[in-house]
């Protein structure tokens, strides 16, 4: 049998999806190494049963949870595999799975404590991203759109893998161990299948980017299925295809960020002038009030940029909803004041969503150019003026009682 550990092809058959997002760093990117580590550790734990592999699996899943809760979409298929597969179920008679659970819980414990203390606040954000079904048709169309999106972004990887399948002019290599094939198949297709099944039931919107980590082991799975020997002509075809696909991505990236910004005005988050916005809002607020900027009332994107780049790192009241930021004291916001910031064409009227900023004084709007290119952001802003607490006058001393 050919062991799955022989992964020479993984350096060749690679997943090129998302290369154009290299200029961005977010939780989707942060989860990738932990997702891959969890897949590797799960395979080792299933094949070798060593406690070290089980502990590594728990640690990888726990660290991935810190990056993005989405890791549960991988953990659930893994757990089901252990429960359903007859061979894998034998592991339940060993301390391995329970060690993995213990290590994972230990890693995520600080965050779980925070979640409980803050009423599981991040889940509210996730719920807004789901966009519930508008009708019965969404239960079918939304999962289909998600699947179509995944297939589209997998085209480059499939092109690279094509020489594995054609031409079939050599006898195939020995078959891979069936257990290896089942484990890798689960890691590759289990999370996607679970997500699509959930979409069929709920009808919620499935965002294409959620499939970002699904296909990390697709190259290995394709190699296992193809069983193609690595002869010189086949290696040359794979290398040439890989080089062409990579070159196409590099050129597309250069054109998208170095050429098109000077031709059109399409918004690009990576070119957003967050540093200039933070400086403008901070300076204008200080000039108008004489006090440093401590709070911003805005959406997460604008507030996050102002907090990150601003000299005073003001806290954000997300979308003007105190429930979204329970760590912010509304009384302190009134005392120190705040800048209300929004973008769009209507920059002279305070957005209705920011009713919490009652009494805010709308200021003159302004525009900021993007980091380069022709684009610009239109900024509207208002001031919630500070209301310093007034100390009550000192009470008059009581007349001493005569003795």
Count of H helices and E strands in the chain? Answer: 13, 6
pLDDT of residue 245: 93
Is residue 68 domain-resident? yes
State pLDDT tens for residues 146-188.
999 999 999 999 999 888 887 776 777 777 788 999 999 999 9
Print the domain residue range for 147: 8-253
Q: Is there a single domain that holds both residue 302 and residue 275?
A: yes
State pLDDT tens for residues 257-309.
888 888 877 788 889 999 999 999 999 999 999 999 999 999 999 999 999 99
Q: Is there a single domain that holds both residue 111 and residue 215?
A: yes
Rounded mean pLDDT, 12-38: 71
CB atoms within 10 A of CB 84: 9
Is residue 262 domain-resident? no
Token pair 């086949």 in the structure block, residue? 234
CB 295 within 8 A of CB 328: yes
Q: What are phi and psi of 266, to 5 degrees?
A: -65, 135
Q: Is there a single domain that holds both residue 74 and residue 128?
A: yes
pLDDT of residue 21: 58
CB 89 within 8 A of CB 83: yes
Is residue 212 domain-resident? yes
Is residue 354 domain-resident? yes
Q: Is there a single domain that holds both residue 273 and residue 247?
A: no
Is residue 167 domain-resident? yes
Is residue 397 domain-resident? no
Q: Is there a single domain that holds both residue 231 and residue 288?
A: no
Q: Is there a single domain that holds both residue 84 and residue 208?
A: yes
pLDDT of residue 23: 67
Q: Is there a single domain that holds both residue 238 and residue 292?
A: no
Flag whether the pTM goes above 0.75.
yes
pLDDT of 122 higher than 90? no
pLDDT of residue 403: 40
Cα angle at 349 between 346 and 350, to 5 degrees?
115
Q: Is there a single domain that holds both residue 68 and residue 130?
A: yes
Per 3-state DSSP, the chain is made up of helix, strand and coil in percentages (nearest 5) of: 60, 10, 35
Q: Is there a single domain that holds both residue 182 and residue 276?
A: no
Residue 119 is given by DSSP the state T
State pLDDT tens for residues 310-361.
999 999 999 888 888 888 998 999 899 999 999 988 888 888 878 777 788 9
- The more confident residue out of 15 and 12 is 15
Q: Is there a single domain that holds both residue 133 and residue 175?
A: yes
pLDDT of residue 265: 74
Is residue 391 domain-resident? no
Cα angle at 208 between 205 and 214, to 5 degrees?
115
pLDDT of 392 higher than 80? no
Q: Is there a single domain that holds both residue 174 and residue 319?
A: no
Is residue 317 domain-resident? yes
Rg (CA), the chain: 28
| Number of domains forming the structure of the chain | 2
Residue 257 is given by DSSP the state I
pLDDT of 384 higher than 80? yes
CA distances from residue 298 to 152, 198, 216, 304, 326 in whole angstroms, order as listed? 35, 33, 36, 9, 15
Half-sphere exposure of 288 (CA within 13 A, CB side): 21
pLDDT of residue 20: 53
Select from 210, 225, 253 the last residue of a domain: 253
| Least confident piece of the model among 30-39, 58-67, 100-109, 383-392 | 383-392
Element (H, E) at 376: strand 376-384
Q: Is there a single domain that holds both residue 249 and residue 337?
A: no
Half-sphere exposure of 209 (CA within 13 A, CB side): 12
pLDDT of 84 higher than 80? yes
Element (H, E) at 185: helix 178-202
Q: Which residues pair with 295 in a beta bridge?
A: 315
């Amino acid at each position: 049998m050919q062991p799955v550990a022989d992964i020479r092809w993984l350096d060749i058959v690679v997943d090129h999806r998302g290369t154009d997002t290299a200029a961005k760093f977010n939780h989707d990117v942060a989860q990738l190494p932990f997702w891959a580590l969890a897949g590797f550790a799960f395979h080792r734990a299933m094949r070798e049963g060593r406690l070290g592999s089980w502990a590594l699996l728990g640690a990888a899943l726990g660290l991935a949870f810190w990056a993005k809760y989405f890791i549960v979409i991988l953990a659930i298929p893994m757990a089901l595999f252990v429960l359903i597969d007859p061979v894998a179920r034998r592991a339940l008679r060993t301390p391995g799975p329970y060690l993995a659970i213990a290590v994972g819980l230990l890693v995520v414990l600080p965050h779980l404590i925070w979640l409980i203390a803050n009423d599981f606040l991040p889940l509210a954000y996730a719920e807004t991203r789901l966009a519930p079904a508008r009708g019965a048709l969404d239960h079918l169309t939304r999962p289909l759109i998600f699947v179509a999106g995944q297939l589209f972004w997998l085209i480059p990887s499939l092109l690279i893998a094509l020489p594995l399948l054609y031409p079939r002019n050599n006898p195939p290599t020995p078959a891979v161990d069936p257990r290896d094939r089942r484990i890798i198949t689960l890691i590759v297709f289990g999370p996607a299948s679970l997500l699509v099944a959930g979409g069929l039931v709920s009808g919620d919107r499935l965002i294409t980017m959620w499939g970002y980590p699904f296909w990390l082991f697709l190259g290995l799975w394709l190699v296992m299925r193809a069983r193609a020997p690595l002869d010189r002509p086949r290696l040359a075809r794979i290398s040439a295809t890989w080089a062409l696909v990579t070159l196409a991505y590099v050129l597309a990236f250069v054109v998208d960020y170095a050429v098109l910004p000077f031709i059109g005005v399409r918004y690009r988050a990576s070119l957003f002038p967050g540093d200039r916005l933070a400086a403008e809002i901070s300076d204008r607020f200080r000039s108008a009030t004489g006090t440093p900027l401590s709070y911003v009332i805005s959406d997460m994107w604008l507030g996050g940029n102002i907090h990150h780049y601003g000299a005073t790192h003001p806290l954000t009241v997300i979308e003007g909803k105190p429930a979204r930021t329970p760590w912010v004291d509304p009384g302190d916001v009134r005392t120190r004041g705040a800048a209300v910031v929004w973008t769009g064409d209507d920059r002279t009227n305070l957005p209705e969503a920011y009713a919490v900023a009652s009494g805010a004084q709308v200021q003159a709007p302004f525009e900021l150019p993007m980091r380069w290119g022709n684009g610009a952001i239109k900024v509207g802003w208002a001031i919630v003026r500070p209301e310093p607490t007034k100390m009550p006058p000192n009470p008059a001393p009581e007349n001493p009682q005569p003795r």
